[in-house]
Structure 1
Amino acid sequence: MKLIKTFSLILVLMLCVGCNNLTDNQDKGHAENVISNSPNIILFVSDDHGTDALGSYGNPIIKTPNLDKLASEGVRFTNAYCTSASCAASRSVILSGQFGHATGSYGHVHDYHHFSTFDGVQSLSNRLSDAGYLTARIGKYHVAPEAVYLFDEVLEADPRNTVEMANASKNVINANKPFFLYFCTDDPHRGHPFNPDPWDAPNTFGNKEGGYAGVEQIVYDPKDVLVPDFLPDTKESREEIAQYYQSVSRIDQGFGKLMEHLKDAGKLDTTIVFYISDNGMAFPGAKTTVYEPGIKLPCIIKDPTKPKGGIVNDARISWVDLTPTILDMANVSFNADEFHGKSFKDIIYEEKVEGWDKIYASHTFHEITMYYPMRVVIDGDYKLIWNIAYRLDYPFASDLWAASTWQAIYRNDEEYFGKRTVKDYMFRPEFELFNLTKDPSESINLAENDTYRETLESMKAKMKDFQLKTKDPWLIMWDHDSSLQGTGVNL
């Protein structure tokens, strides 16, 4: 009798294990079926590239033929925004669909800064892997922890050589199932050393004597570059911008090589391509600020299933929208309430779009020594910046402080840095209100103008609502509003 009972128990256990294996296999099969007809997706992210340095965005000097071709065949957004003009903070938003103030991604990950996303966050790469995609990353990572931002494959190449990066991606491109390739360059970020010797030497922006294997060196004459109006038109600025342009042209060549590999694999018609940057150019007045040069960025998308290209879309979209949009395009189901952004899949190829005129931005740290939280709402013509720590000097990133572009002004005790006085750049008011249509340079602060009192209060209300909905801890800075604060007691 005991033998029969024992045999019966073993049989039941075997059946249970078999059922579990069957369920696992069914789940895997379901995931593979879900994505069998889904597109490949490439998310190409450059490092510190503004709209100022692309031919398709109106720069007649810089040579970016491959990215310009992408724009002519796809869609170029003219109002695309990151949420924080800082590398790590911005990338966490790109890959999570949530603002950094809600995920713990307040600033830089590397070295002693050590900000990190909360463990419970589900990232884009993890979601796509779970759905059956092959996910791979190459180049700059700059997010943590790896368990949150996990990829099936990590490819190795020099992140300053985008041609080498493209070549290293061939096996992923030739995979026998849909892939998601997260392709992140180090260009055109400033290069080491950040402190030049002599002080007025331009930063290299990753350029080097002799260049990079497989990459044509495209050199620019400083007298020919275009100096944005937020920068001083000085010898130092022009020399640094020329180096920046050279780095951007290297990106373009690598992008072209990546498209060649797609074509050779026969996957140009089945691959959606995104080109974006994490934040604006690495110059004072852009990177680490929430002014337009810091957060208004290139965004070019090509969906080969769409018959028409060369579209210019003026909808306001944000990097917090990217994760839900890519999941939507990949046919991966998700709960929209899990994200702070929303999918813009259905309006990508629309030339006239209504209802896409509002975005938010949220910056807290760059380096850990740079505490200067700012919150932004843009709605219609108006933009409100709340400088929460306005009593502090505006902090400098270490590489931007050492930049000859800044030092030429600082050492010579110049009054102006571009259109702003040095004093106004260093010491911000609590609120800055701009009419972006009439004042695209953000040089006229309307916050203290009684004529705009009603507009200011309306924009403040929208900002508070945004902070409440996204569980921003800095909501407490409005009249000590502690509605989001915990008890401090573990129950």
Structure 2
Amino acid sequence: MAPESVYHFQEVLEADPRNTVQMAEQCEKVLNADSPFFLYFCTDDPHRGYPFKPERWDLPNSFGNKEEGYAGVETKVYDPKDVIVPEFLPDTKQSREEIAQYYQSISRIDQGFGKLMSMLKEAGKWDNTIVIYISDNGMAFPGAKTTVYEPGIQLPCIIKDPFSKLVGGENDAMISWVDLAPSILDMVGITYNIEDFHGKSFKNVVEKGETEGWNQIFASHTFHEITMYYPMRVVRFNNYKLIWNIASRIEYPFASDLWASSTWQGVYRSKSEYYGNRKMKDYLYRPEFELYDLSVDPWEVDNLATKRKCHDILASMKYKLKAFQRETNDPWIIMWDHDSSMQGTGVNL
């Protein structure tokens, strides 16, 4: 969260954000404090590491990994031939090498988080501390991070709640990170005005396994870097998902680190027809609307938006998306009619 002057913490703990064990050790004072605490443990792993553009195009990014490793952290190395390549990525030498580096970076998180949990137990706080483990975006590969496809927005959420009777359960309720603040306040018994929050509390999902009313979710993307401006809006209802590519008439722009990745460059330079299970031309030039039935098409390759049999569901999903944009004062709502005449007029929508 940045800048700190805006998203203000009472105290910022200093440590190497790639050395997750060192980060955990810096938390000792917080864990042993007598007063209740909120600890935000945010690593740089597994982001891509500098330099984003390698000396040779086919060299894998380091993902922060170093030959000499990090003090107190066991370096875990993975063989590219053993990694699992998800369907949205190309199964190439470059892709496998980068995934292996990615796994190594994730292993540092495992160790640092494991250290933090051990310290929590040693401090005697294990049985009265709620732990929420999440990611803020999909893996840093083209087709995931900076996209609104499932690999970009379907993220892990693991919750340890000592006050819940549910243990080891899984839940398919559709929650969003905008739900985190009201959920945390609700879970620790702090009263708040529901109207002050965009999201809603998922306390009953965690404590009782409830799913009713959690079958719809919205997502958006506007830009990642100033040179990667490509607004997209999304609604998912049950298994249907609609993506509105508002800037569909231009080529899909790249975050600089993803463009320079050997995974992308290997496919781009070889002029391959496919990138993973999607045609290159479909990845770079997207239609205005993409509609998918995730129950039969989890990798989002069969666009139903132009199929007559899906006309009614398309219209229904458009209605849901537009209503949400109106509710949240989304300025891009004016583009439903492709009417740019109102831009800059200050019209209250």
> 1:160 corresponds to which letter in structure 2?
R
Aligned to 2:163: 305
Q: Does 1:246 align with 2:246?
A: no
Structure of greater relative contact order (alpha carbons < 8 Å, 6+ residues apart): 1
| Distance verdict in 2 for CA 1:364–1:200, change over 3 Å | same
Q: Structure 1 counterpart of 2:123, which letter?
A: A
Runs of at least 5 residues in structure 2 that lack an aligned partner in the other structure: none
Q: Which TM-score applies when normalising by structure 2? A: 0.96
CA RMSD in angstroms comes to: 1.6
1:306 offset after TM fit, Å? 2.4
Cα–Cα, structure 1 residues 464 and 217, in superposed 2: closer, same or farther, change >3 Å?
same
Query: 1:313–1:350: 8 Å Cα contact kept in structure 2?
Result: no
Structure-2 residue corresponding to 1:121: none
Q: 1:411 to 1:247 in 2, by over 3 A?
A: same
1:436 aligns with 2:306: no
Say whether 1:291 aligns with 2:149.
Answer: yes
- The list of structure 1 runs, each at least 4 consecutive aligned residues, that deviate by more than 6 angstroms after superposition, is none
1:154 is paired with a residue whose SS is coil
Give the drift of 1:486.
8.2
Cα drift, residue 198 of structure 1: 1.5
Considering fraction of residues, name the structure with more helix: 1
Name the counterpart of 1:338: 196
> Which residue of 2 is the match for residue 30 of structure 1?
none
Correspondence for 2:83 among 225, 240, 255: 225
SS of match in other structure, 1:377: strand
In the TM superposition, residue 352 of structure 1 has moved relative to its aligned partner by 5.7
Tell whether 2:97 aligns with 1:269: no
Q: How many residues align?
A: 346
Over 3 Å counting, the alpha-carbon distance change for 1:177 and 1:485 in structure 2 is farther
Kindly state the Cα deviation for residue 330 of structure 1 after the two structures are TM-superposed.
2.3
1:115-134 correspondence runs (5 A): none
| Residue pair 2:175, 2:217 contacting (<8 A) in 1 also | yes
Equivalent position of 1:453 in the other structure: 311
CA contact (8 A) 2:222 2:229 kept: yes
1:376 deviates by: 0.2
In structure 1, runs of 5+ residues without a counterpart are 1-140
Structure 1 range deviating more: 196-205 or 283-292: 196-205
How is 1:24-43 mapped onto 2 (pairs within 5 angstroms)? none
Matched, 1:372 2:230: yes
Quote the residue 2:32 is aligned against.
174
CA distance in 2 between counterparts of 1:149 and 1:193 reads: 28
Aligned residue in 2 for 1:348: 206
> Cα–Cα, structure 1 residues 487 and 388, in superposed 2: closer, same or farther, change >3 Å?
closer
* Secondary structure at the counterpart of residue 337 of structure 1: helix
Identity of aligned residues (%): 69
Equivalence for 2:23: 165
CA contact (8 A) 2:204 2:210 kept: no
Which residue in the other structure is 1:414 paired with?
A: 272
Residue type matched to 2:297 in 1?
D
Of 254, 257, 263, the match for 1:399:
257
Aligned residue among 220, 225, 234 for 1:362: 220
CA distance in 1, matches of 2:35, 2:83: 44
**Structure-2 separation of matches of 1:486 and 1:178:** 47
d(CA) in 2 for partners of 1:305, 1:210: 42
**Matches of 1:486 and 1:266, distance apart in 2:** 57
Q: Deviations over 1:405-426 (max 9, x none)?
A: 0000111111100011111100
CA 1:415 to 1:480, structure 2 compared with 1: closer, same or farther past 3 Å?
Answer: closer
Q: Is the 1:311–1:349 contact (alpha carbons within 8 Å) kept by the matching residues of 2?
A: no
Q: Does 1:191 align with 2:54?
A: no
Q: In structure 2, which of residues 3, 13, 24 is the aligned counterpart of residue 155 of structure 1? A: 13
Name the larger-Rg structure.
1
> What is the aligned partner in structure 1 of residue 73 from structure 2?
215
Q: Secondary structure at the match of 2:12?
A: strand
Indicate if the aligned counterparts of 1:313 and 1:349 stay in contact, CA closer than 8 A.
no
Which of 104, 112, 118 does residue 260 from structure 1 map onto? 118
Cα deviation for residue 478 of structure 1 reads 1.4
1:314 and 2:204 aligned: no
With structure 1 as the length reference, what TM-score do the two structures score?
0.69
Equivalent position amino acid for 1:411 in 2: R
Using a 3 Å threshold, how does the CA distance of structure 1 residues 478 and 463 change in structure 2: closer, same or farther?
A: same
Q: Deviation string for 1:230-282 (max 9, x for gaps)?
A: 00000110000000001101100000100111111110111100000000000
